[in-house]
A and B are shown apart, each in its own frame.
Chain A
Amino acid sequence: MNSAALLYRYLSISLRGQLQYRASFLMAALGNLLNCVIELAGIWVLFDRFGNLSGWSFAEVAFFCGAVNATYAIGELMATGFDQFGTLYVKTGDFDRLLLRPRSTVLQLAGHELSLRRLGRLLPGLVIVIAAWAALDLPLEADRLALLAFAMAGGVAFFFALMVLQATMCFWTTESLELMNILTYGGVETASYPLPIYHRLFRRFFTFVVPLACIGYFPIVAVLGVDDPLGTSRMFQVAAPLAGFAFFGVAIGVWQLGVRRYTSTGS
């Protein structure tokens, strides 16, 4: 059985398990949904007061916000095993069990759980994107949609990679570090606003070190069909999501180092 089919098996088992606990799933999904709605309401309050944000309209900012939330939700949905890695696998020593199976540890952890409650963030995110798309009167063209899908795919790889990095640190610290939340939750918050409003150092950091803008701001500027006040070319904007995949590759490399450390310390 190939890896994709095995992943599917893992995930369908996880889904069935979660549907058994319906109330818990509904409550958690509702919580995530409210979170997302409140975030958007915050942005709306801002716009109600100031009219626009350095020339960006409410609908445009809502587009950024919706897209990054939906992207993050999918990434988190797929990387739940990494998110809970420290407590579930390192602390208990259960990581040994994964190492005893002839499959990649990344695949086994990706298959750990498809956390349905993350749908609470995905659905409103998508709704916001669709509403903003309509409000902005963007033409429904294949290349725009394809670019958005590409940006989101890169974004999923990016957020997945953040979870992998967070899990990797557990090989040294045992417990999951809240430190990474600065980049995950903080990243979602940051990418909900257009990049030019931030300080130059921040912009550099989120472009070249942690390529959050490459899967959010830059490609979405191209989707919106506006000129980038930062002066980047369309070519760059369209290619930018590749950075998300590159970041994923780096994270997997770091993960392998962590596994090597684990297998030499045995804890």
Chain B
Amino acid sequence: MPQIEVRGLAKTFRVAERLPGLAGAFRGLFHRRMRDVHALGGVDFDIERGELVGYIGPNGAGKSTTIKILAGILNPTAGTCRVDGLTPWRDRRRHVARIGVVFGQRTQLWWDLPVIESFDLLRDIYRIPAEAYRDNRDRLIALMDLEPLLDVPVRQLSLGQRMRSDLAAALLHGPSLLFLDEPTIGLDAVSKLAIRDFVRELNRERQVTVLLTTHDMDDIEALCERVMVIGNGRILVDGSVDGLRRRVRNERVLVVDYDSAGEAGTVDAGGDGVRLIERDASRVRIAFDPDRLPAATLIGRLLAQGTPKDLFIEHPPIEQTVAELYAEHDMRER
């Protein structure tokens, strides 16, 4: 049985329409026009134990709404959802004891408390047995390199340090399911890598199921085998990262470097849907569809014309793929 089972999940918010200007604001005091906003319009998916799933979509597409419902802090308007046999918003307290949640935009720690005291308080809140707590805490401190930060109040931490502490804090009680909402937002490259390594290790070694929302496609490429794309409150694509690429455009780029400028200037890649994207003194970049023209054939053609110093194949950046997908579904930020 899947660990998360979501069927027909829908959420409609009623919001008061704001009229423009001061006069409008006054009118709004007495007469409100309400408008329905469909944040989720019937979402279905399953997530198996031990999966690491990326959940992407433009702002306002329904990512946070989904996470909040799965975490048990928001009731849906319609639909069902079972997480480890519980309905999150009905069994909220039992449910949240088993999951970990990290919001990149907002800390779960106590602003004024040193990190280690936040951890101790969480031990009491989650009723973590002393031994399990000690093991988990020490392991997380070592993995996230938190030792030098333990006595620092949370408000004095840098964003990267805070995120590492937040991640550790969310795992002290040993949850089997982790929701990460934009965990790398605003982080520098080193911190991003540390977070990614940690999440990967957690998923592989400890079989923790992870649902990850992000705008950083490098997160997705580095971590996820499966990705769900949501737009306008519906799941548009649910499958492998490769599948997502193929779905939009099945294209690779062959990059060829030459020693002498002359060779790069004269090379001709031929037909079969091949496009020459770029050509400068010593490098050419050629786009091709491996289903129409196998990479080996293309390389063979080039080798017949000269001797490249180096050649390699690039995936198109997934940002581009996703942007095309959004465009295809006419999704805009709302």
Which chain A residues have a beta carbon within 8 Å of chain B's beta carbons?
1, 5-6, 9-10, 13, 17, 93-94, 96-97, 99-104, 260, 263-266
Chain A residues with Cβ below 8 Å from B13 are: 265-266
Mostly, the A contact residues are helix
Contact call B74/A264, Cβ cutoff below 8 A: yes
12 contacts between A and B (CB under 8 A): A9-B124, A10-B121, A17-B112, A96-B68, A96-B106, A100-B96, A100-B101, A100-B108, A102-B97, A102-B126, A263-B89, A266-B68
Chain A residues with Cβ below 8 Å from B89 are: 263
Which chain B residues have a beta carbon within 8 Å of chain A's beta carbons?
13-14, 65, 68, 71-75, 89, 92-94, 96-97, 101, 106, 108, 110, 112-113, 117, 121, 124-127
Mostly, the B contact residues are mixed
Told that A9-B121, A97-B106, A100-B72 touch, could you supply 4 new A-B pairs with CB distance under 8 A?
A13-B121, A96-B68, A102-B94, A263-B74
Q: How far is the CA of A76 from the CA of B300 in the complex (A)?
A: 82
Q: Nearest Cβ distance between residue B110 and chain A, in whole angstroms?
A: 8
Contact call A99/B113, Cβ cutoff below 8 A: no
Contact call B71/A100, Cβ cutoff below 8 A: yes
Q: Beyond A265-B13, A266-B13, is A99–B72 a contact (Cβ under 8 Å)?
A: yes
Among residues of A, the one whose C-beta sits closest to the C-beta of B123 is A1
A-B contacts counted at CB < 8 A amount to 55
Among residues of B, the one whose C-beta sits closest to the C-beta of A264 is B75
Q: How far is the CA of A263 from the CA of B113 in the complex (A)?
A: 28
Q: Considering the complex of A and B, which 5 residue pairs feature the smallest CB-CB distances, nearest first?
A: A102-B97, A99-B73, A1-B124, A264-B75, A102-B93
Q: How far is the CA of A103 from the CA of B122 in the complex (A)?
A: 11
Q: How far is the CA of A17 from the CA of B73 in the complex (A)?
A: 29
Contact call A103/B125, Cβ cutoff below 8 A: yes
Contact call B106/A93, Cβ cutoff below 8 A: yes
Q: Which of B73, B93, B126 contacts A96 (CB 8 A)?
A: B73
Contact call B94/A13, Cβ cutoff below 8 A: no
Q: How far is the CA of A1 from the CA of B133 in the complex (A)?
A: 13
Q: How far is the CA of A37 from the CA of B65 in the complex (A)?
A: 52
Q: How far is the CA of A20 from the CA of B278 in the complex (A)?
A: 64
Contact call B124/A263, Cβ cutoff below 8 A: no
Chain A residues with Cβ below 8 Å from B68 are: 96, 266
Contact call B73/A263, Cβ cutoff below 8 A: yes
Contact call A102/B124, Cβ cutoff below 8 A: no
Contact call A13/B73, Cβ cutoff below 8 A: no
Q: Nearest Cβ distance between residue B266 and chain A, in whole angstroms?
A: 62
Q: Nearest Cβ distance between residue A5 and chain B, in whole angstroms?
A: 7
Q: How far is the CA of A263 from the CA of B91 in the complex (A)?
A: 13
Chain A residues with Cβ below 8 Å from B112 are: 17
Q: Nearest Cβ distance between residue A158 and chain B, in whole angstroms?
A: 27
Contact call A263/B75, Cβ cutoff below 8 A: yes
Contact call B117/A13, Cβ cutoff below 8 A: yes
Among residues of B, the one whose C-beta sits closest to the C-beta of A103 is B125
Chain B residues with Cβ below 8 Å from A96 are: 68, 73, 106
Q: Nearest Cβ distance between residue A24 and chain B, in whole angstroms?
A: 14
Contact call B117/A6, Cβ cutoff below 8 A: no
Q: Nearest Cβ distance between residue A113 and chain B, in whole angstroms?
A: 11
Chain B residues with Cβ below 8 Å from A265 are: 13-14
Q: How far is the CA of A93 from the CA of B248 in the complex (A)?
A: 37
